[in-house]
Chains A and B, each alone.
Chain A
Amino acid sequence: MIFLPNAQCAAAYNILSRMSWALNRPALFNTALLNSVLACLILTCLLTQSVIADVSSETNALLANSTLTTRIESEWATLTSNGDTQKLQLMIEPELETAVGDDSRFTAIVRLRMDAKDNLSPGDHNQAELREFYFDTYIDSSIVVLGKQQVVWGKSDGLKVLDIVNPQDFREFILDDFDQSRIPLWTANAEISINNVTLQLFLIPDQTYHKFASTDSSYELTTPLIIPPIIIESGPSGANVTINSTTLPNNTLQDADAGFRLSTFTHGWDLTFNYLYHYDDTPVLFRAVNVTANGININIDPQYKRSHLIGGTFSNTFGDLTLRGEIGYLTDKYVSTINPLDTNGVVKTGELKTVLGFDWYGFTDTILSTQIFKTYLDNHETGMIRDELNTQVTLLIKQDYMNETLHAEILFLQDIDYKDAMVRPKLTYEYSDEVNVYVGADIFYGNVDGLFGQFKETDRVVAGVVVGF
């Protein structure tokens, strides 16, 4: 880490502090404040790295071992329904890596995001965020990674089964790359090799959870599959609905998430066994109904609840075909119910999630990929807002042209049971080493109560430029 004069740091902090922060919540330590300070320091380092004239030899050595790269993306999106610009965003993402010896390094990634429109995060035009900040090192045959990072599990695309270690920012539903929408967490992470098996162990003392699109934003959730109808409709006629503030776990260690993954490669199979003890990143909406002389009072009490996730993944190739899959069982899943006789408005159940994927490489420069997702609730009761069994399928067709400078793809995500879908065609051209341009569309259709259909009025065309240097 390069430390800079206080004046420079203070100036950068003043600028940044005027921006609204995209950080979630603090736990025992003040995550937002820590992130702010670190982002300030790193930004200042990045901005001043090239102009430092009088530096010590130690700083010189660090600079010599540092690489700074930056990704700038400008994206424009317009709604097809009325031609309004939905998004006019500039994102700057500097990344600094500093090698410390042969086997260790620091990595810092900062993201600045400015949106000239106010549709995705109303009142939150400009965001500065310390995305990742970690130190990683080899210790004998183990890799230890300490700091703010992403832990990514699973083999699926587009939808998630096991990739739930880090929460997600749904500001743009699931349209953002997961790399961008995944919320990095402060984590102690180690991967230990024992013969042909790798054991990953981690502890996450960071109580940050999903961040949902805010009210009146483009991707505010309205589907009754997530938001119980009683909230959507402000309760039955005459009822007073009160939504309490969310009860947050706040003990750094007691409320930490922890998990492990065993992975191996044997007889052509990539296999993993995964376990995660965590808080479900979506709050459970407990309901209390009081009937008084003044009417019906409905009290909604959002709480985060613990869950165990046990699962595994596999993949192998058979000629032109790659087979991959995931299975995960979540205990203590709470699903809302509209059954008026239910005491707390939620039913506790287990949730089994599976995905089976097939990637076909039989045609030159082409990938055909399909996945089948199944979700099963093992304690289903009448009135629950989700079906006992749900099936979703995806299809991806991707083709490269002109020595992989032009990429065409189309992705379909279809919910079989709720009869809604999302279609995402995209064309990307690598204009040069530094510049990529793309154009695409995000189209939703089907049942408005479905996960995808809820956004059927939000179809859009997108175009963007990505500059990397």
Chain B
Amino acid sequence: MNTIKTLLTISIFINSNALMANNLPSGEQVAKNINARNEGISQSRNMQMILTDKRGKKRIRETISYRKYFGDEKRTVIHYLTPRNVKKTAFLTFDYPDANKDDDQWLYLPAMRKVRRISASDRGDYFLGTDFTYEDIKKESKVTLEDYTRKTLREEALNGNPGYVIEATPVNSEVADELGYGKVIQWVDKNIWMTRKSEFYDVRGKLLKTTLFKDIKQIDTIWTAHRLEVDNHKTGHKTVFVFTDVVYDKEVRDDFFTQRAMRRGL
């Protein structure tokens, strides 16, 4: 009888674990939920970039950025306001829904007074001295479905926020080289479908950097991270983005996303 009870208990335990595993949403589904999260048609915000090197020396940049959807096409422009040596630098990107189409990017350098067309293919290059890559900046709280295969590792709360831990692996070595990542582990809040933490591993599998999405608050019903922190474990460099005056769906002029507006500045 005891043997039967033991077998029954083991059987129930195994089945319940299997059931739990089956109840976990797939990695792809989590990614789709992340991307389905509303982020408004347009957004404007101030962004402070705090760049700290391994010796603790800080560089601080103040910027203002605008983002707007034109149909499925997302356009973003960032204007640097301070310090003086980067003031009036502007970065414009057109992010197309077609994954096979490279984005278009322009950089305005005030010392040249010219808008330069720049290649968008090096998505893994770091953005203007930060620890975010151009791809990170572009996707921000969203993810690219085509670049990774994903699996849900487990359900796990982070700082009291229930969620799932997702492992994303580049679809091939070419994409891995392009992005600069061999693997990404994400902690995704299952109530608001926002990533709260990411660990990025290089193509050799070594932990490269950790990103934390903090101070997440609702602005006009849209969940918004107001602080992003990246620790680059390889270089000891750290980048913090602090967002203020975040406004959604206020009128943002279409012509803000033009080379003409980059030259004029704000």
Contacts and interface: CB of A to CB of B under 8 A. Distances in A.
Interface of A: 69-71, 136, 141, 143, 150, 152, 154-155, 157, 177-179, 191, 193, 198, 263, 265, 268, 270, 315-317, 319-322, 324, 359, 361-362, 364-365, 400, 402-405, 430, 432-434, 436, 466, 468-469
Interface of B: 51, 53, 57, 59-61, 82-85, 87, 102, 104, 110-114, 116-122, 124-126, 128-131, 235, 237, 255, 258-260, 264
B85 A436 contact: yes
Given A179-B111, A317-B104, A403-B53, A71 B84 contact: yes
Given A317-B121, A403-B53, A430 B260 contact: no
A404 B110 CA distance: 17
B119 A317 contact: yes
Contact of B258 (A193, A362, A468): A193
B113 A365 contact: no
A365 B134 CA distance: 12
A178 B121 contact: no
Contacts, number: 107
A316 B255 contact: no
Nearest to B115: A270
Contacts of B128: 404
B83 A433 contact: yes
B114 A403 contact: no
Given A403-B235, A432-B59, A143 B119 contact: no
Contacts of A359: 116, 118-119
Given A178-B112, A403-B53, A403-B235, A322 B117 contact: yes
Contact of A154 (B82, B114, B121): B114
Contacts of A469: 83-84
B119 A321 contact: yes
A177 B111 contact: yes
A69 B87 contact: yes
A324 B117 contact: yes
Given A317-B121, A469-B84, A191 B126 contact: no
A268 B235 CA distance: 36
20 contacts: A69-B87, A141-B255, A143-B264, A152-B114, A157-B112, A191-B260, A193-B258, A193-B260, A265-B259, A316-B117, A317-B102, A317-B120, A319-B121, A322-B118, A359-B119, A364-B122, A403-B131, A434-B84, A468-B87, A469-B84
A432 B82 CA distance: 13
B49 to A, nearest CB: 11
Contact of B118 (A265, A361, A430): A361
The 6 closest A-B pairs by CB, nearest first: A468-B84, A404-B129, A433-B83, A361-B119, A315-B117, A152-B113
B229 to A, nearest CB: 15
A179 B88 CA distance: 14
B181 to A, nearest CB: 14
A430 B121 contact: no
A361 B118 CA distance: 8
Nearest to A193: B255
Given A69-B87, A403-B51, 12 more contacts: A141-B255, A177-B112, A179-B112, A191-B260, A193-B260, A317-B121, A322-B116, A359-B119, A400-B129, A404-B128, A436-B85, A468-B85
B121 A136 contact: no
Contacts of B111: 177, 179
Contacts of A315: 117
Nearest to A136: B264
A178 B117 CA distance: 19
A293 to B, nearest CB: 57
Contacts of B117: 270, 315-317, 322, 324
Given A136-B264, A359-B119, A179 B258 contact: no
Contacts of A152: 113-114
A361 B85 CA distance: 24
Contacts of A71: 84-85
A179 B113 contact: yes
B104 A430 contact: no
Given A152-B113, A466-B85, A403 B119 contact: no
A395 to B, nearest CB: 17
A150 B110 CA distance: 12
Contact of B119 (A150, A265, A320, A434): A320
A198 B235 contact: no
Contact of B122 (A361, A404, A433): A361
B184 to A, nearest CB: 19
Contact of B57 (A155, A320, A322, A432): A432
A178 B102 CA distance: 32
B50 to A, nearest CB: 11
Nearest to A321: B119
Contacts of B51: 403
A136 B119 CA distance: 31
B121 A155 contact: no
A390 to B, nearest CB: 24
